[in-house]
Amino acid sequence: MAAASVKSSRSRGSSVTANGGLGLGLNGSQLEDKLNIFKSDGFDPDAFVQSKCHSLNEKEIRQLCNSLLDLKKASAEEMRRSVYANYSAFIRTSKEISDLEGELLSIRNLLSTQAALIHGLSEGVNIHSMTTTTSQGSKVHQIFKYEDRETSNIEKWTLEFPDLLDVLLAERRIDEALASLDEGERLAAEAKENKTLSQDALLSLQTAITEHKQKLADQLAEAACQPSTRGIELRAAVSALKRLGDGPRAHSLLLNAHYQRFLYNMRSLRPSSTSYGGAYTAALSQLVFSAIAQAATADNWVLTYPPSVARQSGRSSGSVVTFQHKLSSSAHRFNSMVQDFFEDVGPLLSMQLGGPTLEGLFQVFNSYVNLLIKALPGSIEDEGNLEGSGNKIVRLAETETQQIALLANASLLADELLPRAAMKLSPINQANIKDDPRKKPTDRQSRHPEQREWRRRLQRSVDRLRDSFCQQHALDLIFTEDSDTPLCADMYINMDENTEEPEWFPSPVFQELFTKLNRMASIAADMFVGRERFVTLLLMRLTETVILYLSNDQSFWEDIEDGQRPLGPLGLQQFYLDMKFVYHFSSQRRYSSRHLHQVINDIISRAMAVFSSTGMDPDSVLPEDEWFIDICQEAIEKLTGKTKAVNGERDLNSPTASVSAQSTSSVRSHGSS
């Protein structure tokens, strides 16, 4: 009896697996009969599965699951092929529907315009009849005199201008409407200055311009809010709004469009009960960064304050105050999403997911930093370090102002905004621990060290961006567009071949370094208000990058040490002057460091050792230290256009004053020893 039961069970299992699970291998008519059960209104999925699977053993159930997975993959592949096969037709049909909607809207607007014209004509006839019946001397004479007067061209254009704008707006010819509005504003300004129009005509023209600008702005805003408006159309509408002078509204619409698309995609996700939220969280993170990356593709890297609109999330007033920082549009998008996320962080803490939450936020920020690095022209980060950036096309930051704005985005997010938002994890978490006596004392203090380490990791990501920035600008200084370098050994070796005494001044490459640092300091002063330390570290790092390149340039030192021509007295003096110039202005401008001064001292010592190997004493050919200081100070005054400080003194309050106070003679003695 037991053998018969096992045999029947095996026969049922074999029938199931042979048919690919639940009769999937039947012919067309049999398959249709089998599928009819699913079409009935009273179909119960649980009862159906129980009836098919209650007699199956573990192996047969596993085989059935494998068959269903294979069917799922085949179904997904078939759906993908079907989508690709019909995609072109869908796009074509969508475009035709969109064109048809535009034509219907144009017809409706034209009908409305015609109705308004007819209504206006009818009212005009009534007014004219009333005027003729109430003829009174001087008034009638003035009307006839006005009608007999020949209308000027500008007055004719003024009368036709509102109708022209109505037609352009009705037909959605945005570029032509913008051009006409610009032309109207220009003519209005000329008419006001030259008095070529009467006061009433000028007022009518200005009113028409204002009203139609508002109509066009509303039309553009309505179009930007449509779910079907994406990509180029959205950016064109936003650019037109900005051209109309409604920049804050354009900024808000662009961010809101990205936000709505993100919410739509997020609602389309369905958390899986079998993946414990892992796959759902990964997909959600991808959507978050995708929204940030989309904002970065349209970012012009100009820092602005956030839109002055009420947040839909109902954030507290204190949070709104912390949000008022100047960032570019993609950084505003990033910050607002983080703030919204941390508004409801309680469920994550109740599931003890505070640590994974911080890690996920760091990963998203690190990916955003990768995007900022890709926005630098000629970034030398290899593709392996940019993993996770999604290969998004990012608008390049072409000017120094835009490139420094990248640093302002990253530093403000890492130093203030993200840590301030993440602090919402601590108070709630500490309250939960206090209420739970089972928690160990060490657990109560684990959150703050974790957040400190998390902040250090954020800072390291910002340092990667800063280093890429400095490397790029250092290479721009050292190499020309033709891959030549103005910083070579020949510029010093060839000096002794000239018979005339040179005009002592720092070399052009170091003049350009000084000018670039001053220019960047001026730009950064407006972007890093209250965060001057970051600017100091940035300029210090850029100076170190250039000097370290010189220190490690093997070809330069091979020519100096082993070249056919030795380094002569004039070359050594010019080299010493260049190093002293960097030494002097970096100390004076407060972006020097002990490391920078040590590298400069080592370079000078190495050059003096090479000169000593020729049998000559460096101290016998080099002037006194005061001579170099005077030349450096004179160069700084000439390059900046500022007057010399009293006795050339440095600011004693500089944090590097003690370092820069070292005597150059000690460097000299070290090099000659």
Residue 581's closest CA among 517, 538, 525? 517
510: three-class secondary structure by DSSP: helix
**pLDDT over 70, % of the chain:** 68
d(CA 556, CA 289): 45
Q: Domain for residue 509, yes or no? A: yes
Phi and psi angles of residue 29, each rounded to the nearest 5 degrees, phi first = -65, -40
The pLDDT score that the predictor gives to residue 141 is 46
For residue 347, give its domain range. Answer: 269-478
The pLDDT score that the predictor gives to residue 445 is 42
Same domain? For 213 and 317 the reply is no
d(CA 323, CA 529): 15
Q: Which of the listed ranges 81-85, 159-163, 259-263 does the model predict with the highest average pLDDT? A: 159-163
Same domain? For 474 and 502 the reply is no
Same domain? For 286 and 234 the reply is no
Burial of residue 86 (number of CB atoms within 10 Å: 0-12, 13-18, 19+) = exposed
d(CA 562, CA 569): 17
Residue 559's closest CA among 656, 494, 511, 496? 494
The pLDDT score that the predictor gives to residue 11 is 42
Is 619 in contact with 569 (CB distance < 8 Å)? no
The contacts of residue 616 (CB under 8 Å, 6+ apart) are 569
pLDDT band at 485; cut points 50, 70, 90: confident
The number of beta carbons lying within 10 Å of the beta carbon of residue 113 is 15
Same domain? For 156 and 65 the reply is no
What does the pLDDT average to over 313-330?
57
Same domain? For 497 and 628 the reply is yes
What does the mean pLDDT of the chain come to?
A: 74
Per-residue CA distances from 207 to 35, 151, 247 (Å): 69, 21, 21
Same domain? For 494 and 462 the reply is no
Is 68 in contact with 21 (CB distance < 8 Å)? yes
pLDDT band at 112; cut points 50, 70, 90: confident
d(CA 607, CA 603): 6
DSSP state of 417: I
More confident residue, 431 or 597: 597
Same domain? For 310 and 334 the reply is yes
What does the pLDDT average to over 549-564?
90
- Tokens of residue 547, six digits: 């000097």
pLDDT band at 498; cut points 50, 70, 90: confident
Instruction: Quote the number of domains for the chain.
Output: 4
pLDDT digits (tens, 9 = 90+) for 182-218: 888 888 888 888 877 778 888 888 888 888 888 888 8
The pLDDT score that the predictor gives to residue 282 is 56
Q: Domain for residue 119, yes or no? A: no
Q: Domain for residue 494, yes or no? A: yes
Q: Domain for residue 128, yes or no? A: no
The pLDDT score that the predictor gives to residue 441 is 39
Q: Domain boundary residue among 86, 111, 136?
A: 111
Same domain? For 560 and 652 the reply is yes
What does the pLDDT average to over 120-137?
58
d(CA 511, CA 578): 9
Same domain? For 447 and 498 the reply is no
Q: What is the pTM of this model?
A: 0.54
Torsion of CA 560, 563, 565, 570, to 10 degrees: -10
Same domain? For 94 and 223 the reply is no
Q: Domain for residue 625, yes or no? A: yes
Same domain? For 185 and 278 the reply is no
Q: Domain for residue 305, yes or no? A: yes
d(CA 515, CA 509): 10
Same domain? For 509 and 621 the reply is yes
